[in-house]
Chains A and B, each alone.
Chain A
């Protein structure tokens, strides 16, 4: 008995997590799948309605507009956010005086509450009394109604996302520390400039981190909620997917409908994530691959790894 217990000790240790996962994730997931096919209002017993929720969703203008807004936001905010974070991280990796202070300042948005940030940006983007338009006015530009003009709502949200790009520098900085110095030394010997080194060494070596941030960025963009809920913007132009989902679930008592929306969102994120995973073979390089390449090529001289790119 004792022997059996000790042999299976590992399973006993993981059991609490497995149970938690089953009870709090797997079961609710299947319940949610069922709810999406019902007219659940979260209070009375739900009735099975088949695919009606899904059919209704694609005839719902608000659903389509919220989906469209969220997709456009993801298309712009995710790559721009990655580019901004990566550039900032590269700059903050330089050995200059006060770099730790700059790192702290740029990382600050990540530790400030989302609600505070939303309220701050609502003021910054005010058409008449906002900081941004006041600064633009000083250089002779009449700023737009960032949140009141439907055409400027999406750029406003992208701007807010870029302001928070400093939050992403942490992983890039960690990744930058892992780039072997030998690669840069070899590139120096070959006469490469800073741009060539950045494009041909830094970026490829950071692709695992970029890959991670891309996945997280896509998930985050599609699940955008707190600032959108607070800031809004030009009627329903600031109604992101999750805001509309929340409204259906908790304001309109359409839990079945909202759950169907959640499943569509899940599928969108799943498909995009799979595409990114699938494509990763083409553009993500892991250090292990380099090490493997090194071992294979016994005659490879020091710093020849750069040849991989």
Chain B
């Protein structure tokens, strides 16, 4: 018995030594930033980190922006933390470990979720009193996605409205008039049918368009006055207006003018357009399709068709501040500087007077500047909910995918999606 205890003691002494060395390695918790800024007597700049999904070339460009900011700031030194893959999984792990980056890029659908969890810092008071921030200059669509329960949790830095790219050569050869910017979805349908070519064996060799889960189904729901859920979370996906939009979408899908979802996902929907197999493609206004297509054919851009009203989805992302930051003031200053500097970057900005830089930064988009401006004015994001990612999955599973594959009627799909969203939100 004595022997056993001795052996156990030996193991635990070793364990204690090793555990001591482990704890000795542990860093302090509570935010990634370091540096002294207390009592206004800071002797060194606050060291801040900003996480981004940018990689490769974009990362280099962003680094150049950050280098400039660091050189000009007396209060902070910003370091980029690039997470090009599994961004949200890693961010979640970092937040859980109390090692969140001081600043983070967040796509619109994550903001209410993170805000509810208390992960984000409210900047409403600071931003409304800050002369360097003009909230009135923002388009409502993007700015609304950074708000949650009357608070402001970040500053949008990009708002890419969905526009319609078209292959001008294919349209001309099919005798289709170039989109006027005032096409209805019915006009679009007619053109898509003309642009879908079938060979003698009955095989489709060219499609009018591609709808494979992109663009978001809200494109049609909103166009006819519907909503998936309203701002308060009320489920409206099965409302009369929403079903009208879905019915219009269903008409296009049943015309066989789009590759199957499987084909589009395997070959890449944008690639189908770039290789001239699809004539009209819905993409973000800032997508560099023109560059990638090069001289293969002439790319055109038009506003997306309208239903009862003009509206388009916008891909929006904000930079937010972690509530775990040790340097909230410096982090706020860095946020504002970084956001303002980003507007000068090669992005479609979420602000009304931010389009001047587009011809300079993206000369290939100059021809479409007017389309981008107009689209930005009525572009909007989702009415993001606390469980937005779960809701989006439910809409895909119960509504969009079955509709694309012809497995459900618009009414049935809307009813099923509403029931599923209800189980998720409990509303």
Contact = CB atoms under 8 A, between A and B. Distances in A.
Nearest to B398: A235
B11 interface: yes
A129 B268 CA distance: 13
Interface string A209-247: 000000000000000000000000011100000000001
Interface in B20-55: 22
Contact of A126 (B19, B263, B402): B263
B10 A11 contact: yes
A166 to B, nearest CB: 25
A4 B7 CA distance: 10
A64 interface: no
A145 B262 contact: yes
B266 A122 contact: yes
B390 A252 contact: yes
Contacts of A127: 260, 262-263
Interface in B93-129: 93, 95-96, 113, 117-119
Interface in B249-290: 260-263, 265-267
- Grouping DSSP codes into helix (H, G, I), strand (E, B) and loop, the A interface class, with mixed when no group exceeds half, is loop
B409 interface: no
Given A44-B117, A247-B393, A148 B96 contact: no
- Grouping DSSP codes into helix (H, G, I), strand (E, B) and loop, the B interface class, with mixed when no group exceeds half, is helix
Contacts of A123: 266
Given A8-B7, A128-B260, A19 B14 contact: yes
Contacts of B6: 4, 8
A16 interface: yes
A123 B267 CA distance: 8
Contacts, number: 85
Contacts of B387: 252
Contacts of A129: 263, 266-267
Contact of B262 (A16, A19, A126, A250): A126
Nearest to B3: A7
A72 interface: no
A252 B391 CA distance: 10
A43 B92 contact: yes
Contacts of B95: 42-43
B262 A252 contact: no
A192 interface: no
A15 B393 contact: no
Contacts of B93: 42
Given A148-B262, A250-B92, A253-B92, A236 B15 contact: no
A262 B267 CA distance: 35
A19 B18 contact: yes
B88 interface: yes
Contacts of A297: none
B397 interface: yes
A264 B175 CA distance: 61
Contact of B390 (A16, A42, A130, A251): A251
Contacts of A16: 14, 18
A127 B263 CA distance: 8
A253 B15 CA distance: 34
B389 A15 contact: no
B262 A43 contact: no
* Interface footprint category on B: 35 or more
A14 B14 CA distance: 10
A247 B396 CA distance: 14
B397 A235 contact: yes
B344 interface: no
Nearest to B402: A235
Contacts of B118: 43-44
Contacts of A43: 92, 95-96, 117-119
A135 interface: no
B401 interface: yes
A22 interface: yes
A12 interface: yes
Contacts of A14: 11
A41 interface: yes
A23 interface: yes
B92 A148 contact: no
A169 interface: no
Q: Which of B96, B117, B262, B405 counts the most A-chain CB atoms under 10 A from its CB?
A: B262
Given A15-B15, A122-B266, A129-B266, A23 B10 contact: no
A148 B14 contact: no
Interface in B380-427: 387, 389-390, 393, 396-397, 401-402, 405
A15 B14 contact: yes
B113 to A, nearest CB: 6
Nearest to B262: A148
B180 interface: no
Nearest to A62: B397
A56 to B, nearest CB: 10
B18 A15 contact: yes
B256 to A, nearest CB: 12
B173 interface: no
Interface string A2-22: 001000100110111011001
Contacts of B260: 127-128, 145, 148
Given A42-B93, A148-B261, A252-B390, 6 more contacts: A11-B10, A14-B11, A42-B95, A129-B267, A148-B260, A252-B387
24 contacts: A4-B6, A8-B6, A8-B10, A11-B11, A12-B11, A12-B14, A15-B11, A15-B18, A18-B11, A42-B96, A43-B92, A43-B96, A43-B118, A128-B260, A128-B262, A129-B267, A235-B405, A236-B397, A247-B393, A251-B88, A251-B389, A251-B390, A251-B393, A252-B387
10 closest residue pairs by CB, A with B: A15-B14, A8-B10, A235-B401, A148-B262, A42-B96, A250-B89, A252-B390, A19-B15, A43-B117, A11-B10
